Structure 1
Amino acid sequence: MNGETQLGDFLKARRSHLRPEDVGVSTYGERRRVPGLRREELALLAGVSASYYTRLEQGQSPSASPEVLDALAGALRLDEPERRYLHDLARAGRQRPRGRRLPPERVTEENAQLLDVLGDTPAIVQGRCADVLAWNLLGHALFAGHLDPGSPDRPAERPNLARLVFLDPHTRDLYADWPTKARAVVGNLRLMAGRFPDDAALHALVGELSAKSGEFASMWADHRVKSHMFAAYDMRHPLVGPLTVVQQSLGLGRGISLVVATTPADSPSRAALALLAQVTAPAASAWTRSRVTTD
């Protein structure tokens, strides 16, 4: 994921999604051979020369100023997460890619206390590559009840939410609108790729998913960048049936986030979560006892 190449690919992809009529560009009924805006049209909207924009898109001019990037973001109608991503890519292009491994991610004592407090709310702590660093009992039961609840405690065996969404049949069936969930996962990985461009583990994950899932490869190539802080999902849980949850992501720093699933009070979905807690209680108690014994 070379920064210069990623910057050019992102600009080209976003340009191809803009129609001339969206930004007030007159076409005079002419037949167009390219989707979206032409390079010279976008350059005019951004107030830069066509030759300079072409060099940017071809990865030959990585030193774009923040002002130029903001002008391009405005011309491309980027939202705030996309604008930050554009700046991240430009910053990465000015640095020599190192492909280094970042320090191991861990759950702090404060994170663990937060999970404990959220005992009645499904919650997961996920890392920048979507690894599950920790989950509470109801979070495990809702999102991955078919997996060993103790797997996040063993770094080599940690579940990865991106792999689960794209490669695991159980997780795919869990979401009634799987494509929407899948695009959210890809959008989050795109944001992380912009923030941590030299993360070797993230490079490896993207490569693996691109090779194993044509759907992932297609969504990744689309260069959609979205910050899914809040999203409602209809789920089809194998133990308690259909329910709707709002998944909220709260940043904990360094790309680590807390994902919680909430439901309206006195709703059928809240009742389904309460039932899930009851039916999984024996297994949860056994897991708790084993952790105490191990510790």
Structure 2
Amino acid sequence: MSTAGPLGEYLRARRELIGPADVGLPAHGRRRVPGLRREELALLAGISADYYLRLEQGRDRNPSGQVLDALARALRLDPEATAHLHLLGGHAPAGHPARRPERVPVGIRQLVGSWTQTPAFVHGRHLDVLFANPMATALAPIYRVGVNLLREVFLGPHVPALYPAPEAVAASAVAGLRAQVGVEVDDPRLTELVDELTAGSELFRRLWARHDVTVRAGGGLRVFHHPQVGELELRYEKLMISGTTQSLVVYHAEPGSPSARSLARLGGTGTGAAPATDE
């Protein structure tokens, strides 16, 4: 961890991603570093250049909410990234839950295990798979208990063959991890994982340095290249499990679609006998 701290590192990373033209400033003279200069960002945010320098260097780590809002506007941050900036600046939302051991609730395990035709799994705050039903593991070998999804994305052999756009998957995974760990970037488990991926993947180093943040709850569309049933176009839903730092991920196909028929064939290959457990 540098002396700048999480807030200073985040401000610098986001500043370097915005060029003068992006915010209507003329790009005069040669620039030795990418993005905006510190004094330019300070001007856009309406604060002194000296005060901004102290923030970025970690000499002032308790800015007001108004200053953080001004910086967020100047950096063109979306609501999720703005909330992350406030968290780094010491403005945690009221009722922020304390850390709890990552054990999947019994009811969730029973529910997910009962879905014999629907791939579903649960991952924790560091993207470790904590529970998975047989359909999830049949859909992709990375969805099995004990696998760290981030490690698989950057260092494992399966992701390039599974997804047609693995870099997009990688970027989403890193931004999701940033959102889940929040300000707890000195967490030993996180430090160990980041050090391992930094040493082994140039792509991870580049994405981690961007400090992108994406809240993991929500949904979308993902295409799989499955060796047994061919291409599967599946929707996914990411649901936060109340009272935990865990997410439930569920895949499903459009009813009556070729992907739905392929998913049914996958469910009939003998994968639905019993759910994987986290015991």
Query: Normalization by structure 1: what TM-score?
Result: 0.83
**Runs (5+) with no aligned partner, structure 1:** 93-101, 153-157
8 Å Cα contact 1:3-1:89 kept in structure 2: no
Structure 1: how far apart are the matches of 2:150 and 2:219? 17
Aligned residue for 2:96?
none
Distance 1:167 1:31, change over 3 A: closer
8 Å Cα contact 2:6-2:183 kept in structure 1: no
Deviating more after overlay: 128-137 vs 115-124: 115-124
8 Å Cα contact 1:63-1:90 kept in structure 2: yes
Aligned residue for 2:247?
257
Q: 1:250, CA displacement in angstroms?
A: 1.0
**Is the counterpart of residue 210 in structure 1 residue 207 in structure 2?**
no
Secondary structure at the counterpart of residue 61 of structure 2: coil
Number of residue-to-residue matches in the alignment: 270
**Is the counterpart of residue 247 in structure 1 residue 236 in structure 2?**
yes
Structure 1: how far apart are the matches of 2:60 and 2:204? 29
Aligned residue for 1:41?
40
Match runs of 1:271-290 below 5 Å: 271-279=261-269, 281=270, 283-285=271-273, 287=274
Q: 1:242, CA displacement in angstroms?
A: 1.1
Deviations 1:204-250 (CA, angstroms, capped at 9, x unpaired): 11111112222212211122222343232221111211112223211
Structure 2: how far apart are the matches of 1:33 and 1:189? 31
Q: 1:171, CA displacement in angstroms?
A: 2.9
Aligned residue for 2:79?
80
Structure 2: how far apart are the matches of 1:3 and 1:263? 48
Query: Normalization by structure 2: what TM-score?
Result: 0.87
Q: Which residue identity does 2:71 align to in structure 1? A: L
Q: Which residue identity does 1:188 align to in structure 2? A: G
Secondary structure at the counterpart of residue 140 of structure 2: helix
Match runs of 1:50-69 below 5 Å: 50-69=49-68
**Is the counterpart of residue 133 in structure 1 residue 126 in structure 2?**
no
Match runs of 1:3-42 below 5 Å: 4-27=4-27, 30-42=29-41
Higher helix share: 1
Structure 2: how far apart are the matches of 1:41 and 1:64? 19
Structure 2: how far apart are the matches of 1:206 and 1:85? 19
Structure 2: how far apart are the matches of 1:117 and 1:144? 20
**Runs (5+) with no aligned partner, structure 2:** 92-98
Structure 1: how far apart are the matches of 2:161 and 2:77? 32
Q: 1:58, CA displacement in angstroms?
A: 1.1
8 Å Cα contact 2:117-2:272 kept in structure 1: no
Q: Once superposed, which parts of structure 1, at least 4 consecutive aligned residues long, lie more than 3 Å away?
A: 1-4, 29-34, 116-119, 195-198
Aligned residue for 1:266?
256
- RMSD of aligned C-alpha atoms? 2.5
- 2:182 corresponds, among 172, 194, 198, to 194
8 Å Cα contact 1:175-1:236 kept in structure 2: yes
Q: Which residue identity does 1:11 align to in structure 2? A: L
Q: 1:103, CA displacement in angstroms?
A: 4.6
Structure 2: how far apart are the matches of 1:128 and 1:80? 21
Structure 1: how far apart are the matches of 2:115 and 2:43? 52
Structure 1: how far apart are the matches of 2:210 and 2:121? 28
Q: 1:276, CA displacement in angstroms?
A: 0.9
Distance 1:216 1:131, change over 3 A: same
8 Å Cα contact 1:144-1:171 kept in structure 2: no
- 2:101 corresponds, among 104, 120, 124, to 104
Q: 1:88, CA displacement in angstroms?
A: 2.0
Secondary structure at the counterpart of residue 203 of structure 2: helix
Distance 1:111 1:3, change over 3 A: farther
Q: 1:190, CA displacement in angstroms?
A: 1.2
Q: Which residue identity does 2:224 align to in structure 1? A: M
Q: Which residue identity does 1:277 align to in structure 2? A: G
Distance 1:30 1:211, change over 3 A: closer
Secondary structure at the counterpart of residue 104 of structure 2: coil
Q: 1:202, CA displacement in angstroms?
A: 1.6
8 Å Cα contact 1:4-1:89 kept in structure 2: no
Structure 2: how far apart are the matches of 1:263 and 1:2? 45
**Is the counterpart of residue 236 in structure 1 residue 236 in structure 2?**
no
